[in-house]
Structure 1
């Protein structure tokens, strides 16, 4: 790979893996103390920030400074915002039903089971998805049009995720909305503006990395994130939990499942 510091990048991998392990270990300690492993959700975004920060430090003097700084800032803004939002939302709460469903039938120690079923898989995903930023940090080529497109896509995703979360928080503040469905604002155009935003953010980061060889080889990293959000855990589990709410079936029929799109008219509607 001409121009790419292969050995420097490979030498950084144990340190970025250690950053992931450190975040997970600290999160596990807090989870055991609070008796709720859903604190992993709070650490998800900051974990990527920790990896990006370590990669930024280790790529100094090798990768393109503009790309390094851009990846650090964009990953940092996204990850810290997400961590603060989820932490504020979950303050003083109990175990999330999703985690209760996973850990409720734990054979033996619940905490040991959580290490295998929650922390290890999420740590592996965190490391793999963050390879986009890790490789991009060491890429030597200058920023080009793909990186500019990536910044635009990141901004679109960040707006969708941030505004979508804010609109949902405002909706939940009104007791009259309890048990109902949010179908206004961004939620009128996609049932999951926050998940779509997350996917767009990581696709944008990929384009910034892919602007210079060998960043394009990390395409499976954002693909894994999108697959998890749209098909495996995020969208599927959320909709399963929401399915019993009055009006949700009609909401599903009229509103795009992931990519924002004008709402469809209900069957038989005018």
Structure 2
């Protein structure tokens, strides 16, 4: 008996994801760097983040491409608008984040790999973690793409709410990153004794991360609108529809507890330990969810 289409799609997608990460690790381990040297008069190209973003795009395409789902004439069946929007938003975000991280690494460098780039086993962990990130974060998108278009319900209120969440989160992320980039340019060499506290950064100490969590919550909402019908039609196993909810939970946990906010908070506390204004800002400003600053005596 053939396995449900969703399982076939997901296995192929996840296999491609980790194959890409292993290939990237192989190059990085061989060169003992996360960069590609070029003949251009600029810094080497940082390819870790570029491969991460490209993985999202490749996996999204593979989840859409179902050779077995053809019509009577052997042509690919049309996509549902939900699949187009779910895939489109994922690709837009991946292109933005990849280019943003690439430009930032060229301008300010990237110290994440300094201690492990000559240690292949430990370096592999970074690439495997990236593979897990790609697989879990966009899981709802991969699953909704695996469902035949004729089994998708019409766009409804849940989809609209999800799109509003996604647009709000993406706007927060882009605007917060832009404001911080402009601030870095303005302060220049004073960066180590300064911190950004205006714009969205007056409402949250990490508005860019808040935006990323909100947009993936939105992506889950509109992607999962098709899950109940797919489960009933035995296209999507029930356990997989439940597993998809871990996407926004995983992203939020990763950012708040593991690799995002904790690392930056420790770095800022160390770098600005003697700056009184920073500690006042930290006490008055929400760490994550944007709120109006509160006065602290």
Q: Which residue of 1 aligns with 2:281?
A: 251
The alpha-carbon distance between structure 1 residues 64 and 147, as it changes in their structure 2 partners (threshold 3 A), is: farther
Deviations 1:16-53 (A, max 9, x none): 12321243245335545472377433433332222111
Residue number among 194, 206, 211 corresponding to 1:197 in the alignment: 211
Whether the aligned pair in 1 keeps the contact of 2:9 and 2:146 (CA below 8 Å) is no
Q: Which residue of 2 aligns with 1:114?
A: 123
Q: Give the alignment's TM-score, normalised by structure 1.
A: 0.85
Whether the aligned pair in 2 keeps the contact of 1:64 and 1:138 (CA below 8 Å) is no
CA deviation after TM superposition for structure 1 residue 230, in Å: 1.6
Structure 2's unaligned 5+ residue stretches are: 36-45, 71-76, 229-239
Q: Give the alignment's TM-score, normalised by structure 2.
A: 0.78
| Aligned-residue CA RMSD (Å) | 2.6
Q: Which residue of 1 aligns with 2:180?
A: 168
Q: Which protein is bigger by CA-based radius of gyration?
A: 2
Whether the aligned pair in 2 keeps the contact of 1:56 and 1:69 (CA below 8 Å) is no
**Map 1:159-238 → 2, pairs under 5 A:** 159-174=171-186, 175=188, 177-179=190-192, 180-214=194-228, 217=242, 218-238=244-264
Residue number among 69, 87, 95 corresponding to 1:80 in the alignment: 95
Over 6 Å off, 4+ runs: none
- Equivalences, count: 256
Q: State the alpha-carbon separation in 1 of the partners of residues 284 and 259 from structure 2.
A: 22
CA deviation after TM superposition for structure 1 residue 15, in Å: 1.7
Residue number among 137, 143, 150 corresponding to 1:135 in the alignment: 143
Q: Which residue of 2 aligns with 1:35?
A: 33
CA deviation after TM superposition for structure 1 residue 242, in Å: 0.8
Residue number among 150, 156, 165 corresponding to 1:153 in the alignment: 165
Whether the aligned pair in 2 keeps the contact of 1:145 and 1:211 (CA below 8 Å) is no
Q: State the alpha-carbon separation in 1 of the partners of residues 287 and 78 from structure 2.
A: 39
The alpha-carbon distance between structure 1 residues 46 and 201, as it changes in their structure 2 partners (threshold 3 A), is: farther
Structure 1's unaligned 5+ residue stretches are: none
Whether the aligned pair in 1 keeps the contact of 2:210 and 2:289 (CA below 8 Å) is yes
